[in-house]
Chain A
Amino acid sequence: MIGRLILTYPDGVRRTGIAFILSLITLGLYTLGISSAWIGHLVPATSGWLADNPALGRFLAAAMIALILAANWMALRQLNRRQQIIGVWIELFVLLMLFFYSFNLSFTFIAKKIGYMVSQGVTTTLYISAISIVIATVIALTGAIAKLSKNGVIYGLATFYTSLFRGLPLLMQIYIIYLGLPQVGYVIGAVPAGILALSLCYGAYMTEIFRAGIESIPRGQSEGATALGLSSSQTMGLVILPQAMRVIIPPTGNQFIAMLKDSSLVSVVGVWEIMYLARTQGQTEFRHIEMLITASMIYWVLSIGLEFLQSRIEARFGRFNVR
């Protein structure tokens, strides 16, 4: 019945569908309780009428936003794919900035502090993360090979390690290492404690990623290498790992980004990285939100950097996949 309707009146059905979606959006925005104040700002003459008819005003505001969204959709459809992507990014970024702008932030305060945030905070965050990433990768590789080992002792060690460090909250690991190690006579600095906790925690997650990556390579590959006389370590390093990298890199990139942001947890033991500075610098003039938003933006920029790096590395290891 509906199928026949669609076949007979394709244009009519499409227009009805569009109208239906638009009215759904309008209704949704209306129920969410959208404000009509922005119409008053744009056209001051209407503000009196809006004050008299609040419900109708809200409905009008919702309908206009739905229409603006539709117009925006149509406009973006005129562009090619690449332009569409850029367009969407710009629009959403502007909206995000407008959202932050509505907080009534003191930009002079941000401008005053941002230099220090970058020179002290970003440097500390980056070097803690970078060292942790390197150590975590080494741990992950060792752990993955241990988990594939036939030796029960080695397998036991690896499974206990991954289970423990994936199972405890990272925050607890930082506390346990920073406060616990001195109990057994080893006093550890805040920065090394943070690096140790991050490396061990992410090493445990990445062990699973590396193991899955190695296991994803068909057995014929290692048999082919073995039959040529390659030793097991040569087989792993020259044949298996380079291929496993294609599977390993995307989730590892995810882990690196997550670690970059989780390095903020190290602030609890007083390391002067981005998060710690955001909290302490804001406190002096009761400008918390400025510093927190600035810190968020810095984390975002750093993450974008890592994303970019990841796609470059992925392209490098994927190049043999051409047909």
Chain B
Amino acid sequence: MTTSTHMQNAEILLRGVHKWYGQYHALDDINLSIAPREKVVICGPSGSGKSTLIRCVNRLEAHQEGHIFVRGVELDDDERKADAIRRGVGMVFQQFNLFPHLTILQNCVLAPMWVKKMPRNQAVEIAMSFLERVRIPEQAHKYPGQLSGGQQQRVAIARALCMNPNVMLFDEPTSALDPEMVKEVLDTMVELAGEGMTMVCVTHEMGFARQVADRVIFMDRGRIVEEGKPDDFFARPKTDRASLFLSQLLH
């Protein structure tokens, strides 16, 4: 009974998800339900499967066993279904993945114009409003290569928001940034969280996790080892692996 109500209410639902790369068991029986407007931070040592997990949610990677539902639609081999889901799920990558041959503005209007068939004027208007929200409207006509890493990542966030997604996935959004640029990106993400966006964020920024996360998920070797409210998780980790990870992180 609880699972079925979960299924109806959950924004994202994973049930018994497995994934292998050859012999390597990347995801091992993942069960996870994320409610609308919930903010979830996923952390864990490198190679623990956290990136793989969120890349399965918009099917950049295909899972091999189990079920993944996004807003009630199951992800399977039907690419059109995956495309439909991707339209409602924004993603921000560690390496920004802006398109270097297009200006900032062109980066932002590309998907609305080609995927949503939005008229150019409207797409530009929306793009400019999001670029203003991430505080770089004046860079609109530059190319990504002319911007700093922090600025590029904020553009990447704006570009994803232009598709008006219900969910935002962040895959280590600050890991490739110089230390002084981490804050500007985190500030943008905190703002976004305040507006009620559903967010799933793979990050090691524990300050950010404390500030915005409703739930912290700790992964190791492809499994969800521990989950809980950030205050509990950071203060009183239940497992040895989590406390070891946290102690290494704080050094």
Please give, as numbers and ranges, the residues of chain A lying within 8 Å of B60 by CB-CB distance: 223, 226-227
Complex Cα distance A239/B106, Å?
A: 11
Task: Please tell me if the beta carbons of A228 and B146 are within 8 angstroms of each other in the complex.
Answer: no
Please give, as numbers and ranges, the residues of chain A lying within 8 Å of B95 by CB-CB distance: 218, 220
Complex Cα distance A226/B100, Å?
A: 16
Q: How large is the interface on A (under 10, 10 to 19, 20 to 34, 35 or more residues)?
A: 20 to 34
Please give, as numbers and ranges, the residues of chain A lying within 8 Å of B71 by CB-CB distance: none
Task: Please tell me if the beta carbons of A238 and B114 are within 8 angstroms of each other in the complex.
Answer: yes
Task: Please tell me if the beta carbons of A223 and B143 are within 8 angstroms of each other in the complex.
Answer: no
Q: A156 interface residue, CB < 8 Å from B?
A: no
For A220, the closest partner residue in chain B by CB is B97
Q: B145 interface residue, CB < 8 Å from A?
A: yes
Q: A115 interface residue, CB < 8 Å from B?
A: no
Please give, as numbers and ranges, the residues of chain A lying within 8 Å of B100 by CB-CB distance: 243, 320-321
Please give, as numbers and ranges, the residues of chain B lying within 8 Å of A234 by CB-CB distance: 114-115
Task: Please tell me if the beta carbons of B110 and A242 are within 8 angstroms of each other in the complex.
Answer: no
Please give, as numbers and ranges, the residues of chain A lying within 8 Å of B115 by CB-CB distance: 228-230, 234
Complex Cα distance A116/B94, Å?
A: 63
Please give, as numbers and ranges, the residues of chain A lying within 8 Å of B114 by CB-CB distance: 230, 234, 238
- Report A235-269 CB contacts with B as 1/0, cut-off 8 Å: 00011001100000000000000000000000000
9-residue interface stretch from B83-91, B125-133, B204-212: B83-91
Q: A31 interface residue, CB < 8 Å from B?
A: no
Please give, as numbers and ranges, the residues of chain B lying within 8 Å of A323 by CB-CB distance: 145-146
Q: B43 interface residue, CB < 8 Å from A?
A: no
Q: B160 interface residue, CB < 8 Å from A?
A: yes
Task: Please tell me if the beta carbons of B101 and A229 are within 8 angstroms of each other in the complex.
Answer: no
For B84, the closest partner residue in chain A by CB is A229
Task: Please tell me if the beta carbons of B102 and A228 are within 8 angstroms of each other in the complex.
Answer: no
For B82, the closest partner residue in chain A by CB is A226
Task: Select B111's contact among A220, A223, A228, A321, beta carbons within 8 Å.
Answer: A228
For A224, the closest partner residue in chain B by CB is B97
Knowing A223-B60, A228-B160 are in contact, say whether A322-B99 is a contact too (CB < 8 A). Answer: no
Please give, as numbers and ranges, the residues of chain B lying within 8 Å of A163 by CB-CB distance: none
Knowing A220-B93, A220-B95 are in contact, say whether A228-B83 is a contact too (CB < 8 A). Answer: no
Task: Select A320's contact among B110, B143, B163, beta carbons within 8 Å.
Answer: B143
Q: A119 interface residue, CB < 8 Å from B?
A: no
CB distance from B231 to the nearest CB of A (A): 32
Q: Which of A181-235 contact B (CB under 8 A)?
A: 218, 220-221, 223-232, 234
Task: Please tell me if the beta carbons of A228 and B110 are within 8 angstroms of each other in the complex.
Answer: yes
For B144, the closest partner residue in chain A by CB is A320
Task: Please tell me if the beta carbons of A227 and B58 are within 8 angstroms of each other in the complex.
Answer: yes
Complex Cα distance A320/B101, Å?
A: 5
Task: Please tell me if the beta carbons of B83 and A229 are within 8 angstroms of each other in the complex.
Answer: yes
Complex Cα distance A239/B58, Å?
A: 19
Please give, as numbers and ranges, the residues of chain B lying within 8 Å of A231 by CB-CB distance: 83
- Report B107-122 CB contacts with A as 1/0, cut-off 8 Å: 0001100110000000
Task: Select A243's contact among B89, B90, B101, B111, beta carbons within 8 Å.
Answer: B101
Complex Cα distance A243/B100, Å?
A: 8
Task: Select A322's contact among B87, B91, B110, B146, beta carbons within 8 Å.
Answer: B146
Task: Please tell me if the beta carbons of B99 and A239 are within 8 angstroms of each other in the complex.
Answer: yes
Q: B18 interface residue, CB < 8 Å from A?
A: no
For B87, the closest partner residue in chain A by CB is A229
Q: B215 interface residue, CB < 8 Å from A?
A: no
Q: B98 interface residue, CB < 8 Å from A?
A: yes
CB distance from A94 to the nearest CB of B (A): 43
Q: B159 interface residue, CB < 8 Å from A?
A: yes
For B86, the closest partner residue in chain A by CB is A229
- The list of the 4 closest CB pairs from A to B, nearest first, reads A224-B97, A228-B111, A227-B91, A229-B87
Chain B residues proximal to chain A, CB less than 8 Å: 58, 60, 79, 83-84, 86-87, 89-91, 93, 95, 97-102, 110-111, 114-115, 143, 145-146, 156, 159-160, 163
Could you list some 23 contacts between A and B, CB below 8 A? A221-B97, A221-B99, A223-B93, A224-B93, A224-B156, A226-B60, A226-B86, A227-B90, A227-B91, A228-B160, A229-B86, A229-B87, A229-B111, A229-B115, A231-B83, A242-B101, A243-B101, A317-B101, A320-B101, A320-B143, A320-B145, A322-B145, A323-B146
Q: Contacts A224-B156, A228-B111 given; 4 further ones with Cβ under 8 A? A: A229-B163, A230-B110, A232-B79, A320-B143
